[in-house]
Structure 1
């Protein structure tokens, strides 16, 4: 099911939010109603039968605008987010990533975090959209790396997103290995740590230690 909680007669940006019925998406829609521009639409893909890649693809296909922006049901876009999306993608890029703060932190290292990602709709369709083999882990990274073959992709520091809670995603070793196998050069350049401390942190992360630490931290109400 795709709902349009916010519509425009001539949207310049289509915001796609994949979700499932048990998740609340009222707060993210409320934040989108408070944007500094009005010429955009919001598509909530609310279907428990679809994985996240299928839901995003359904939203991309249903979008009316030339520019699609992705966020998640547990995010809070700032008031200038849609305006920043339009400016970033209209500048000639086919895919633009932004920063994330809060329960998840990201500052733009070519991994294309899906809760703050914008792209040209036709290019995304030509690229085949999101691949369900990666659903739940690295689906956004793989999509961004594939989009790099179709045109300029970049990080834009003006594109910011608040992710209040810790991410629901957890490491999928099979998907991680698939990404490394399919994109060995980019994986080595962007994911494999270059320092001893980085390698130690990476070893702990891959074995779920930092996920366990976060579960304890968030259970106690920490940030």
Structure 2
């Protein structure tokens, strides 16, 4: 058994969409308690041809370990991430490929998100709509389990900015639908660790530079927006959508 096959077998990696010589590998981390059939069925409707889909379905892995297992098992030169509660538009993979075709130096691409979570590209690298050069991601060490569950995608994107040999960018045309609010909630210890490890990027990207922005940020950190969204969406532990 090859190393890649061994990784896949050991980490619960399934290939519900398996095509020869894929250029793009879509990795969906999940756990058996979550349904991932809907996102896979949506991915079957993509307008692209040369892609595969890997579902990492292993409750023993945290989200960073699951993503890393998918990256290692991927056969495409580009890895695209989404989550089991997302619905990619039909042109999602085609638009990712087009972005990499336009820019030979591109190594990490973030896209827009709408629905229960919204995002329009502020270098936070939201993991439900993120694509990157596979070799570059492996070279920087993939996702760090130390940040699993909070800011792991942001930390990965900032490390790609700092350490990868290439350019990171945002493409508004690369869009993702996130129907429901995210399942994560703020982890103050990990937030502080990110600030400590990346003080300049943290200040530039995550600290608002206007008074209304700072008030909004303070309310979010105190959990006020969590309560508002929990009432709005009628779900526990909802997270403010622009984080």
TM range (shorter): over 0.9
CA distance in 2, matches of 1:218, 1:162: 16
Q: Distance in 2 between matches of 1:62 and 1:154?
A: 25
State the partner residue of 1:128: 141
Matched residues in 1 for 2:223 and 2:170: separation?
28
- Residue 161 (structure 1) shift: 0.1
C-alpha displacement at 1:89, in angstroms?
Answer: 2.6
Select which of 129, 132, 139 maps to 2:152.
139
Q: Which residue of 2 aligns with 1:72?
A: 83
CA offsets per residue over residues 28-75 of structure 1, 9 Å max, x none?
101100000121000000000000000000000000010000000000
- Residue 128 of structure 2 aligns to a residue whose secondary structure is helix
- 1:56 corresponds in structure 2 to 67
Which residue does the alignment assign to 2:95?
A: 84
Structure 1: state its 5+ residue gaps.
none
Instruction: Tell me the SS of whatever aligns to 1:169.
Output: coil
Tell me how large the CA RMSD over aligned residues is. 1.2
In the comparison of the two structures, how many residue pairs are matched? 221
Task: Give the corresponding residue for 2:14.
Answer: 3
Q: Distance in 1 between matches of 2:69 and 2:120?
A: 28
1:161 aligns with 2:194: no
1:83-127 CA-to-partner distances (Å, cap 9, x unmatched) read: 111122332210000000000000000110000000000000000
CA distance in 1, matches of 2:81, 2:100: 13
Runs of 4+ in 1 over 3 A off after TM superposition: none
CA distance in 1, matches of 2:183, 2:99: 28
**CA–CA separation in structure 1 for the residues paired with 2:120 and 2:77:** 26
* 2:227 alignment counterpart: 212
- 1:87 and 1:51 map into 2 onto residues whose CA distance is 31
Aligned residue for 1:186, secondary structure, equals helix
Match of 2:41 among 30, 54, 57: 30
Confirm or deny that 1:12 pairs with 2:23: yes
